[in-house]
Amino acid sequence: MKKITWILLLLLVTGCTWKMSSVKSLNLNTEWWKTAVFYEVFVRSFYDSNGDGIGDIKGLTEKLDYLNDGDPNTTDDLGITGLWLMPIHPSPSYHGYDVLNYYAINPEYGTMEDFKVFLEEAHKRGIHVIIDLVINHSSSQHPFFQNALTSENATYHDWYLWSNTSKGNGWHEAIISGETKYFYGYFCDCMPDFNYSNPEVTTQMEKVVSFWLKDVGVDGFRIDAAKHLFEEGTQLENVPETHSWFKEFYPFYKAINEDAYTVGEVAQSSARLTTEYADEQMDMIFNFEMANGFMNSTRGESNSSINSAVTFTLQDAPNWNFGTFLTNHDQNRVMSVLNGKIEKAKVAAFLLLTSPGTPFIYYGEEIGMVGVKPDEDIRLPMQWDGTKNGGFTIGIPWRSLNADYTTVNVARGMKTPDSLLKYYQQLIALRNAYPALSRGSYLPVATENSKIYTAIRQADKQTLLLITNLSKDVIAEYTLTYSGDGIRRGDYVLKPVFGSQKDGSLKVEKNGFSAVSPAGELPPYSTAIYIIER
């Protein structure tokens, strides 16, 4: 009986028996992700539909109208057009990054049928859905690894990395046939790394990708730990073999669906890597350098960090083809980094949502949820209202909510005209409405005042000027300078499309403009977007 159970489980996790009809896809445009606004969701913490204290797929479906109701005439939804779901597969951990079965839904989250309904409903609202693809390692409890532990001749032994001696950090002891061996797991002994030198591993992962794109119908993947697939001696990340693997991976998934999108996690503060991996390996990777620039300039009330990030990005990745964010599920939350300052959180949101790249918003960021490590405390349940358990569950939540949920929640944000949530809604609506913000070029504008950040975004015949006062001070005197030929010479008016500033004027000479202060006095932490018109 045990042998039959093992075979059935093995067939399931290798994808040999599970098939399901394809979900109807969106009418996609080429490279739709370049104009998308994404929202990162930890399903366990978003909304619990059945009272067991754990967020689930049905709960996520119930809350889709909050994210985007599909009606462009309404203003009470967030307006996002993409969802990134953190791991949704069966796993022995709460976070899911140690996968037990790549072809199934975590039973705590629901069923594959639940996911199919969710996907259909998301697509109806114009929301693309990508899921976490954890390909660097499996769970140590995965049937493949359990098989690998039985013998050096076992079917799946060579799917993992082994040594007769310990090579230091990342190598973990195991007893095989009475002998001590060591396997490699970069993150922990609970997550043994796959051996991608074995082509059978690649074949299996291609089956996984094909299943989710073709049979299920997701729109792409966020690739976890992308830089760690291969190691070369003491070099544990970004080795040539990893790039070579992704260069074969790219045409594989594009052949299944040319509109499929991948964004890679390469956690490193270097914009240069965004072009190294986006060269027909993945569609994008996250730009951690820009994220650091956003947050450090907001926290320090100085433009030095964001200007530095922009300078290096213009040098290393001038096409701006990358994902941007403020913080994510591995970092202390924005509001905690900014010491609870709502006005600073608005400035950070402004920098994110008016800059080039594809923005990703971490769930709860838009209402000002706080959270500092350990990881469980930066992934707490979503705060929907001021009722018991924040409206997240009618049961006992898998982890207690932040104590401030009675005052920091979606319901209150919806009713408060100047709330952080309303601010996010307005900025996302502007980004969706103005091509210059979603796909426009970036023209740097200089200022002698380090407390001001300013830039020009431009697409087609649309030119926008961005100005923000990063500081707590009123700024009455300042000048802006732009050197370049991006704007034709002539006299222009500045009409505010965002912020409370008045109309301004601008005179552009042959090589740009210099020493102008078109926006008048800048209140503390003020943000403004002007459209430049003749």
Q: Would you please indicate which residues are annotated as catalytic (active-site) residues?
A: 224, 265
Q: Are 496 and 502 in contact (CB under 8 A)?
A: yes
Q: Please tell me the distance from the alpha carbon of residue 51 to that of residue 49, in angstroms, as a whole number.
A: 6
Which residue is associated with the tokens 């993992």?
A: 160
Which residues partner with 160 through β-bridges?
194
CA distance linking residue 527 with residue 454, whole number of Å: 10
At 401, is the secondary structure helix, strand, or coil?
coil
**Positive or negative torsion for Cα 435, 439, 443, 445:** positive
Is the Cα dihedral 269, 272, 275, 276 positive or negative? negative
Question: CA-to-CA distance for 115 and 106, rounded, in angstroms?
Answer: 11
* Residue 228 CA from chain centroid, whole number: 19
Which residues does residue 458 pair with via DSSP β-bridges, in sequence order? 441, 463
Joined together, the tokens standing for residue 319 give 């096409």
Task: List, in order, residues 6 or more apart from 382 with CB less than 8 Å away.
Answer: 45, 46, 47, 55, 363, 364, 369, 390, 392, 410
The span from the CA of 464 to the CA of 306, in Å, is 19
H helix or E strand, kind and range, residue 89? none
Please, which residues have CB within 8 angstroms of residue 433's CB and are 6 or more apart in sequence? none
Question: What does the alpha-carbon distance between residue 263 and residue 226 come to, in Å, rounded to a whole number?
Answer: 9
